[in-house]
Structure formats: structure tokens, C-alpha cells
Amino acid sequence: MAGELVALRISSYVWRIWIGGWNETDARNCELSLQDIQKGNDDLTRSWAMIEYSMILMVSARYREGNETIRRNFQALIERSEARPDLNVSRAIWMARLGIPWSLMYLGELGAALEEFDSGIRQYLKNGNEYGARTLKAYRAWLLLHCMDFTGVLEECDAIAMFAPPAIESGLDFEKRLLPAESRLISALRGLALIGLGRYQDAASHLRDAQREMERHPVIFDWYWRLSVEWGVVEVLLGTGDLVPALAGAEKLVETAKATAERTHQTLAWDLLARVALRRGDHDTARHAVEKALELADAGGVPLAEWRTHMTATAVFGSLGEDRPAIRHNELAAQLVTKLADSLPPNHQLRNRFTSIALHRRSFVASDGASRQKTKEA
């Protein structure tokens, strides 16, 4: 019974963070509780608690540790689950189906993440779990976004929404509904994909929808998705040249991201501030911001943000006339793009699309920085 009470305490800390936002005290108390449960001899309760704990690892940039924690403890739980019908095995299955590809994606192992997502979706459909398959498809669209398949993201979102109307239609059964958390994720995904396609006004509409829903009816994990929504809002302002609110939004995003332990999003926030400052001609702020982004990236474990940061560093140092670091960051950006692309299967359409778009952006950002330096000298 003692082990079960400790597991319950661990679960409460985990869910407080997923619902209310990152909380260093809760995270620390959760880890202290893990020490207590490790002392017991109830292996199944310990495995369940560790799977719950992996949810904290996933949102604090400890992706490798989270992946290994899920795999190891899920296997132990499944092998002996019949002995403990009181444990929520279906929840453990969901965490494995989501947590494993999620962590692989953030580790930059895009091909392996795609394979895990597809495997999970097939298994859910085989078992008649349409809700699980649909929700997993939404997270798979997050992977497509990082692979630069913006059209694919929109197509996936349209398919999900067509299959599952919003939950306000109360006559629909649970399997058919698009719940609030999923609905705003779809809005965010659409907005971010439209930014990638250069359709800024359409993107702004979807991002505002997500913002309104978050303000009107907060739900679980809003704090996490808000980081991406606010990032997208600033990207729209930057893309349309509305630089004063873009700067204010980027500075706010940095502070919001710093209040979490998610270093990927912290890096992206500093990177965005650097790009906004560079566009405004504020070279001191641009340098400071990109150096903060590089500091986070150099600590390792944030490959989805790292290649972008080196692109931005290319532009910032190029605008300052510092050719040597600009060239070095340009080369690093190319190497990181190639490494991410190589994680996808040979000749896979996502591999070709990611490489093409990412390297095109690298050339654009590099030339943009050089042109700003020429303007400055003139």
C-alpha cells in the first residue's frame, strides 16, 4: 500500500505540471518521491510510476532519458499486467505510443519517430480505437511540421477535422468528437503550416483562434502549446514587417519560455528575438539574443532548434561584417540539416522536402545578413 500511495503522489505532481504549467518545486518533489518508491519491492507499481514520471521528462528536454524510461518500464508492465488489473495499462500504452515517437522527434531522429507514429496509428485502427488513432495523427502532424511538409500538415488537419467535428455538437459520441485540446492543437498546426507557406494572414486567423480558445477555456497542456502559438504570432508579425509588436512579442516569448525547462523552445525563442532585432537593425540585441540561443544549442539535445540558430547566427554575424564566424555557422547549419535529413529513409519524400526547404532558407538567411551589412556600410 505504501508504494501505491507514493505512486499516487508522483502522479499528482506530474498532472499538476501538465495541467498548470512547469513548476520546478513539483518536479523536484516528484523526483524525491521516486527515491522513495525505488526503495520498495513492488516492481509493477514502480514501473507505472516511472511511466508517469516520463511525462515530466518529455516537457523538460530530457528526451533520451524519457524515451529509455518509457521503453524499459512499459515492457516490464506489459509482461506482467495481468497480475495487477488495478493499474491503468491503457494509459501506459498511450504514453508509449505518444512518448516514444515524441522523444525521438525532439532528438532529431525523424525517420524513427515517423515509423513509431505510423506503427501506433495502425495498431489503434486495428483495435478499433479511432479516437486514439486520430489524436496520434495530430501529433504526427507536429512531426510533419518539423520536416517542412507544410502542405502535408494542412491535409492531415483537414482529414482529422472532417472525421471529427468539434465537441460542441453534443450529440456526437466520444469516439467521433474533436475535444478542446485537440481542436486548438489543430488550429495551431494550421497556423504554423501556413506561415511556412508564406500565407501570413490565413496563419494569423488560425493562431488567433487557438489563442482565444486558450483564454476562454484553458485545458490541459495549453501552457506548452502556447509557446508554439506565440512563436507563430511573432513569425506572422515578422513576415508582414510589423516590427514593433514583433519585438514586444519576441521579448515576451523569451520570458515565457524561460519559465519552463523546455530548452528546445527556449532556444527557438531567443533565435526569434535575434531575427526580429536583426530586421529592426538593432545589432546589439541581435548579437546578444543569438549568443543566448547558441549557448543553449551548444549544451546539446535540441537539434530541432539548433540548425535554425546557426542559420540566424550566419545572418547576425554577416550583418556585423564578421565573416569568419558567419561562414562557420553557415557550414554548421548545412551539416545539421544534412544530419536531420539523413535520419529519414533514403529517397523518402519528407527527406527531399526537408533538405530542399531548409537549405533554401539557409541560403536566404545568409544572403539577407550579407545584404544588411552592405546597407550598413553604405
- Would you report the helix, strand and coil content of the chain in percent, each value rounded to 5? 80, 0, 20
Long-range contacts of 345-348 (CB under 8 A, 24+ apart): 345/111, 348/111
For residue 303, being part of any structural domain is answered with no
**Does residue 178 sit in helix, strand or coil?**
strand
For residue 174, pLDDT over 70 is answered with no
Q: What is the pLDDT of residue 167?
A: 54
Q: Burial level of 346, CB count in 10 A (0-12/13-18/19+)?
A: exposed
Confirm if 317 and 304 have CB atoms less than 8 A apart. no
Q: What is the pLDDT of residue 24?
A: 96
For residue 55, being part of any structural domain is answered with yes
C-alpha cell at 364: 536566404
DSSP label at residue 300: S
Mean pLDDT value of segment 196-208: 97
User: 184-195: per-residue pLDDT in tens?
Assistant: 999 999 999 999
Contacts of 314 (CB under 8 A, 6+ apart): 326, 329, 330, 333, 362, 365, 366, 369
Confirm if 330 and 314 have CB atoms less than 8 A apart. yes
For residue 63, being part of any structural domain is answered with yes
**Gap between the Cα atoms of 270 and 272, Å rounded:** 5
* pTM higher than 0.85: yes
DSSP β-bridge partners for residue 166: 178
Cα torsion 354, 358, 359, 360 to 10°: value is: 110
For residue 339, being part of any structural domain is answered with no
Whole-number average pLDDT of the chain: 90
Total tally of structural domains belonging to the chain: 1
Mean pLDDT value of segment 233-239: 98
For residue 372, pLDDT over 60 is answered with no
DSSP label at residue 147: T
For residue 204, being part of any structural domain is answered with no
Least confident among 9-13, 41-45, 98-102, 146-150: 41-45
For residue 15, being part of any structural domain is answered with yes
Mean pLDDT value of segment 95-99: 95
Q: What is the pLDDT of residue 139?
A: 96
Domain hosting residue 92, numbered range: 1-107
**Gap between the Cα atoms of 136 and 155, Å rounded:** 15
For residue 32, being part of any structural domain is answered with yes
Grid cell 476562454 — which residue?
216
**Gap between the Cα atoms of 259 and 139, Å rounded:** 24
Q: What is the pLDDT of residue 376?
A: 47
For residue 70, being part of any structural domain is answered with yes
Comparing CA positions, the residue from 240, 261, 266, 237 lying closest to residue 249 is: 237
Q: What percent of the chain has pLDDT over 90?
A: 75
H or E element, residue 165: none
Confirm if 44 and 83 have CB atoms less than 8 A apart. yes
